[in-house]
């Protein structure tokens, strides 16, 4: 039974929710990986893309208070709280340019001072100083928050951030769409419908976005695949997603520190099923910070075709007890890709190839 489904999926045929579940639960792991790798090889050969980026997290103060989050604090009274001004972030971005970055990834906590005018000012000042750097910024949850506190629609919030220099949106905040799971891990976060509506509007305005799945905590395989189904349906309508990013849950320093987190097989199965089920997503991106370098290298043969950049100054996953380094050099990313038997190719935010002079490579 699984053989027939695997062959069809590896040939690029669409599989149903029930078939994806059958693969997740019963396909031999190596066969699942081989089918996912066949899809990747047909599209990209042996090439694995990555970009050179850095994170700016304006504040860690957040009123949403998700139980799975080790990054945020509730109030400015917390000794771990920080809040950067626009000027401080523009200065910091200038220092990060020495790493040869082509993209700034800007996400953070949600609190009333960080409203729509704040982000308009941040984006326009960053673009004025560093017009060559692309801004991947604001999850759908943040767009909804700044729209609400500034009393504008999602459409107007996006029109204004875009006018200020917003280039693409990351995929965070999706977590697991299941209301049952959201009630456990993120009960004050906006529901799936809002997340999907913001991305639909972003795509309508021509903004490319990504989508994530936080897996390996309370969700069932059915809920994982239903999450992917909702993403696949939106992508059928809009074609606005660039990458799907499966994020393994890291329990350290969270309310759910008693959970083990997903094991190797669960990580590889989720990645491979995503590659086979999401036939309309161009890329399945590996977030090496959360996957770990060893599993990332292995997963390059289980459906990944893209890596989440050098990630200088990544703070969100590093607020857990994750052991991956704070940013990988391009050399380390390239050797990680080679360890996985593939060839590393640098790209920009929109997946155009980047050629560098040897001195800046």
**Token pair of 254, please?**
């969270």
Shortest CB 328 distance to ligand SF4, Å: 23
189 or 318: CB nearest ligand SF4: 189
**Residue 123's CB: how many other CB atoms inside 10 A?**
24
Shortest CB 236 distance to ligand SF4, Å: 28
Strand order in the sheet with 306-307: 53-56, 103-106, 134-137, 168-169, 208-215, 241-248, 283-286, 306-307, 47-50, 343-346
12/334 Cα distance (integer angstroms): 28
* DSSP reduced 3-state for 93: helix
212 or 296: CB nearest ligand SF4: 212
Task: Look at strands 53-56 and 103-106 and give their pairing.
Answer: parallel
242 or 320: CB nearest ligand SF4: 320
163/19 Cα distance (integer angstroms): 43
109 or 165: CB nearest ligand SF4: 109
Residues 6 or more apart whose Cβ sits within 8 Å of residue 217: 68, 181, 185, 249, 251, 256, 259, 261
Q: Can you give the binding site for ligand SF4, defined by CB under 6 A?
A: 62, 64-66, 69, 71-72, 109-110, 141, 189
> How many helices (H) and strands (E) are present in the chain, helices listed first?
14, 10
Shortest CB 76 distance to ligand SF4, Å: 14
244/306 Cα distance (integer angstroms): 10
Shortest CB 183 distance to ligand SF4, Å: 14
Distances (CA, A) of 152 to 148, 160, 249, 353: 6, 10, 33, 37
Shortest CB 194 distance to ligand SF4, Å: 13
29 or 63: CB nearest ligand SF4: 63
149 or 345: CB nearest ligand SF4: 149
Cβ-in-10-Å burial (0-12, 13-18, 19+) of 230 comes to: middle
Shortest CB 169 distance to ligand SF4, Å: 14
Shortest CB 203 distance to ligand SF4, Å: 22
Q: Looking up tokens 């490319």, which residue turns up?
A: 208
Contact 50, 306 (CB under 8 A): yes
**Token pair of 184, please?**
């456990």
Question: For residue 201, what is the enclosing H or E element?
Answer: helix 192-204
Shortest CB 175 distance to ligand SF4, Å: 8
179 or 341: CB nearest ligand SF4: 179
Shortest CB 67 distance to ligand SF4, Å: 9
45 or 67: CB nearest ligand SF4: 67
61 or 336: CB nearest ligand SF4: 61
Cβ-in-10-Å burial (0-12, 13-18, 19+) of 4 comes to: exposed
Shortest CB 141 distance to ligand SF4, Å: 6
188 or 353: CB nearest ligand SF4: 188
76/82 Cα distance (integer angstroms): 7
Query: Within 13 Å and on the Cβ side, how many CA atoms surround 59?
Result: 23
Residues 6 or more apart whose Cβ sits within 8 Å of residue 44: 305
């Amino acid at each position: 039974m699984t053989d027939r489904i695997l062959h069809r999926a590896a040939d690029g045929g669409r599989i149903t929710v029930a078939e994806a579940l059958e693969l997740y639960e019963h396909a031999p792991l190596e066969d699942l990986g081989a089918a996912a790798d066949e899809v990747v090889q047909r599209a990209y050969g042996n090439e694995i893309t990555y970009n050179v980026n850095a994170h700016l997290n304006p504040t860690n103060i957040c009123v949403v208070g998700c139980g799975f989050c080790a990054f945020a604090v509730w109030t400015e009274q917390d000794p771990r709280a920080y809040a950067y001004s626009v000027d401080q972030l523009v200065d910091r971005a200038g220092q990060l340019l020495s790493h040869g970055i082509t993209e700034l990834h800007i996400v953070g906590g949600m609190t009333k001072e960080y409203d729509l005018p704040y982000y308009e000012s941040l984006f326009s000042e960053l673009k004025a100083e560093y017009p060559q750097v692309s801004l991947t910024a604001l999850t759908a949850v943040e767009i909804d928050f700044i729209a609400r506190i500034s009393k504008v629609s999602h459409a107007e919030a996006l029109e204004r951030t875009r006018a200020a220099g917003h280039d693409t949106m990351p995929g965070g905040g999706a977590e697991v769409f299941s209301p049952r799971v959201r009630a456990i891990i993120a009960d004050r976060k906006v529901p799936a419908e809002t997340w999907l509506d913001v991305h639909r509007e972003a795509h309508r305005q021509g903004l490319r976005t990504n989508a994530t799945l936080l897996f390996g905590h309370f969700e069932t395989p059915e809920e994982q695949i239903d999450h992917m189904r909702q993403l696949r349906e939106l992508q059928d309508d809009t074609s606005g997603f660039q990458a799907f990013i499966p994020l393994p849950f890291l329990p350290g320093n969270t309310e759910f520190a008693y959970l083990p987190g997903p094991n190797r097989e669960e990580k590889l199965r989720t990645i491979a099923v995503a590659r086979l089920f999401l036939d309309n997503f161009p890329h399945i991106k590996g977030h090496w910070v959360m996957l770990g370098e060893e599993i990332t290298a292995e997963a390059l043969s289980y459906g990944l075709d893209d890596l989440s950049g050098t990630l200088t100054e990544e703070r969100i996953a590093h607020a857990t007890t994750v052991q991956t380094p704070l940013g990988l050099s391009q050399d380390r990313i390239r050797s990680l890709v080679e360890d996985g038997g593939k060839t590393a190719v640098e790209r920009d935010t929109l997946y155009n190839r980047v050629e560098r002079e040897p001195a800046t490579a």
